[in-house]
Amino acid sequence: MSEDTSDLEATTIRPRDRDAIIQSLQAGLVPRRGLQHIQVGRAKEVKAVTEDLDRIADGGSAVRFVIGEYGSGKTFFLNLMRSIALEKRLVTAHADLTPDRRFRSTSGHGRALYQQLARNLSTRATPDGGALRSIVERFIAEANRDASSQDVPTEEVIRDRLDELSELVAGYAFTDIVTLYWEGYQENDDELQHAALRWLRGEYDTKTEARNVLDERVPIIDDSNWYEMTKLLARFVDLAGYEGLLINLDEMVNLYKLSHTGARKSNYEKLLSIVNDGLQGQTVGLGFLFAGTPDFLTDTKRGLYSYDALKTRLAESTFASDELVDMSGPVIRLSSLTQEDMFVLLQKLRHIHAGGDPENYVIPDEALEAFMQHCNEQIGAAYFQTPRNTIKEFLSFLAILEQNPAVSWDELIGEIEVESEGIDTSQTEESESTGDDKGDDLAGFKL
């Protein structure tokens, strides 16, 4: 194998990016920064979602399901698209679904998901989350400038700008809350500003609590309206001068793991409404990327295909195959990395480990090929098709050689043990008999 490395050698790596990438990958996690340094392959998938981002920025909507096996790079792909969205001046939000964060339940799990998304709101200026305050203040600053130029009260401009939200659920309440934040901003009342932000983040448990703090009769964000609030946020970020809102939801397999039939069905119903809105263009400037496993999608007993309406909307082209790729539908199956892709990735990881200086490489190219051959003998093609564990072992390999200069790479390479990516098929704690949603009438019946 050979690769023109001139472009790679010219790439500079900032120390903080180098450390973030190495530490995250060694822990089996996707780095939050520097993704461009380790991106390989999947050009068609990236192009398809980038076109979705352009559609969102143009006031449209998009829904995509990113499907791949455990360790195949779903989370990396979502984070890469998130980085591209931020560069295109979109606002992003991301969350992992868990047993306590999902689309619908009777125990606040939908609101918990919304709270996580609100906390993780990010912009290009604040890429690590916590951008809600800056988004609100940017909107208010623009309104204040317009008010000064028109010689009218700022509150009047704020309400005029937000008038289009009145057609949405809780639109009037949203306008009142933003106005309250403006009042706190103008009067240097930090408590009032904080209270308004708490409402926007869905942190009030009861209407009484919200009314006592805000002195306003406003609805609270709960399981029944969190999605409507998300649509409001998408419209608001557009009014604040951004290009739209992209929401990344990972670990969708947690819906598949719900053993309670009623809970699973109710979550699929909510997901169906999101899919319908996205495919029909009913939302403005809002896109969703969902990441899940093949079983989550196609299992006809528990997966999305068990819900006929979702199966119809997410059915893939009968012509699609490994050779014939179709990116026109809502489902994107991540193609496996090739051995050539893996070789390039290992080159990039070596370059990052060396801080971008080829003089600091601890192994030559032949060591890369030997490492790949060793991995292939241990776990076969899984080493490059689901490469998470391969990457972890490679970085450990480099770290040992760096710290022990007297050790030869060809002596050490035979001691490397690479495991195939394990698949967790366990279910959530919610069982048929203890689920908090109404399911089968006989769910709790025992002999």
DSSP letter for 441, please: T
Q: How many residues does the chain have?
A: 447
Lowest mean pLDDT among 269-283, 296-310, 369-383: 369-383
Mean pLDDT of 57-76: 91
Report the alpha-carbon distance of residue 373 to residue 289 in Å, rounded: 35
Q: What is the pLDDT of residues 224-262, one digit of tens each?
A: 999 999 999 999 999 999 999 999 999 999 999 998 999
pLDDT at 387 over 70: yes
**Residue 433 DSSP one-character state:** T
Beta bridge partners of 225: none
Selected residue with higher pLDDT from 53 and 435? 53
At residue 226, the pLDDT reads 95
Q: Residue 427's pLDDT is what? A: 46
Sorting pLDDT into bands at 50, 70 and 90, what band is 422?
Answer: low
pLDDT of residue 307: 96
pLDDT in tens, 168-183: 888 899 999 999 999 9
Residues above pLDDT 70, as percent of the chain:
89
Q: What is the pLDDT of residue 57?
A: 96
pLDDT at residue 37 tops 90 = no
- The model carries a pTM of 0.84
Q: Which has the minimum average pLDDT: 12-26, 310-324, 342-356, 402-416?
A: 310-324
- Alpha-carbon distance values, 226 to 199, 244, 280 (Å): 12, 18, 20
Residue 113 confidence (pLDDT)? 97
Q: Is the pLDDT of residue 426 over 80?
A: no
pLDDT score recorded for residue 441: 38
The residue that leads in pLDDT, 431 or 300, is 300
> Across 11-25, 84-98, 343-357, which has the greatest mean pLDDT?
84-98
pLDDT for position 446: 38
pLDDT tens across 144-174, in order? 999 999 999 999 999 999 999 988 888 899 9
**Distance between CA 71 and CA 382 in Å, rounded?**
10
Alpha-carbon gap, residue 151 to 148, rounded angstroms: 5
In this predicted structure, the answer to whether residue 20 has a pLDDT above a threshold of 70 is: yes
Per-residue pLDDT, 169: 86
Mean pLDDT to the nearest integer, 135-140: 96
Q: Is the pLDDT of residue 447 over 90?
A: no
The region that residue 244 occupies, defined by phi over 0 for left and psi between -120 and 50 for alpha, beta otherwise, is left
Band of the pLDDT at 32, cuts 50, 70, 90? Answer: confident
Classify residue 221 by its DSSP letter: P
Return the pLDDT at 429.
44
d(CA 142, CA 267): 39
Residue located via tokens 């890429």: 127
Which residues are within 8 A (CB) of 331 and not within 5 positions of it... i.e. 6 or more apart?
64, 65, 67, 297, 314, 316
DSSP string, 345-381: HHHHHHHHHTTT-GGG-SS-HHHHHHHHHHHHHHHTT
DSSP 33: S
Copy the structure tokens of residue 258: 């719900």
Confidence bin at 111 (pLDDT 50/70/90): very high
Q: Which residues contact 279 (CB under 8 A, 6 or more apart)?
A: 63, 313, 330
Instruction: Give the pLDDT confidence score for residue 16 in this predicted structure.
Output: 86
Across the chain, mean pLDDT equals: 87
Q: What pLDDT score does 324 carry?
A: 56
